[in-house]
Copies of this chain bind each other. A is one copy, B any other.
Amino acid sequence: MADSRFFPVAGPFTLGQLADIGKATLAPGVDAAALISGVAPLETAGPGDLSFLDNRKYAAAFGSSKAAACVVRDEMVERAPAGMMLLVTKDPYRCYAHIAQAFHPVLAPEPWVAPTAWIDASALVGEGCRLEPGATVLARAEVGRRCRIGANAVIGEGVVIGDDCIIGANVTVSHAILGARVNLYPGVRVGQDGFGFAMGPQGHLKVPQLGRVIIGDDVEVGANSTIDRGAGPDTVIGTGTMIDNLVQIGHNVRLGRGCVMVAQSGISGSTQLGDFVAVAGQAGITGHLRIGTGARVGAQAGVMRDVGPGETVGGSPAVPMVEWLRQSALINKMARKG
């Protein structure tokens, strides 16, 4: 069970209910009326807990788990410890996600404006919002309904925030328009000037950054990530995109729908990504490129050319992943011979 100090729990649910919620089937002989009171990892789960097995690396933990119930793929059913009740599905992780959400639903915040919060007289804050201590909403900003503005977060002049957004503690947002259900983790910076200046031997001349940041619905941005506003065009983050911690998005960048950017990756100015592009950790993409829909960029890759739809690239400078693996193997072999 999750620590109740931090995670209030709903339920209990019967296994039959959970099978419905997770779109799984009960293994033969499982009692659909058995009660489950929470979810837990394989190692720490106990009676009353449901767990899941997705990555085969954890098959040993599965074999010795004391979980009452577990979500598994068909081929693992045989390896379950005696007495464990199984929910079977093709996608245990997604099934578990649905079930864990049922035990830990995202609730609308308890409305509150802390005495040390600040709302400018010209700002609009929708009904049902929670402004924690030191949360600050500056002139002409508009915050939707049921938003949570974390402690010491700052919503800049004129910013627009949709309904049901979560703005983490110590976040800064300026020059931006956000959709609904956007979740900015603590320390995120959205909307500051892009890195734009005319370089010259006598000094660098600042170029005013006159675009905005437009964020679609259901976007998450990880802790301390930075999204610069456009230089003239806007910076755009498509609906459903997931951005991890310490990621850098340069000015004028456009991410399509459902993109994934893993921690410490970065994209330079004016590059455009299609939908569902995945960029792995510490990878970098230089400016003014186009990365096609469904493309994948490997960890620590350095992309300096356009990438076609569905292509997978790796290495620095990045090449098609199969070539990069061949290069790595070849160098390895030659160096050993040498």
Contact = CB atoms under 8 A, between A and B. Distances in A.
A226 B246 contact: yes
Describe A's contact surface by its main secondary structure: loop
Given A116-B118, A262-B195, A224 B226 contact: yes
A185 B192 contact: yes
A11 interface: no
Copies in the complex: 3
Interface string A228-269: 100111000000101011101010000000101011101010
A300 to B, nearest CB: 5
A197 B100 CA distance: 12
Given A189-B245, A284-B281, A300-B302, A7 B210 contact: yes
B168 A170 contact: no
Interface string A316-328: 1101000100111
A242 B204 contact: yes
Interface of A: 2-3, 5-7, 39-41, 43-44, 51, 55, 57, 91, 93-94, 96-98, 100-101, 103-104, 114, 116, 118, 132-134, 136, 138, 140, 150-152, 154, 156-158, 168-172, 174-175, 185-187, 189, 192-193, 195, 197-201, 203-208, 210-212, 218, 220, 222-224, 226, 228, 231-233, 240, 242, 244-246, 248, 250, 258, 260, 262-264, 266, 268, 276, 278, 281-282, 284, 286, 288, 299-300, 302, 304, 316-317, 319, 323, 326-328, 330-332, 334-336, 338
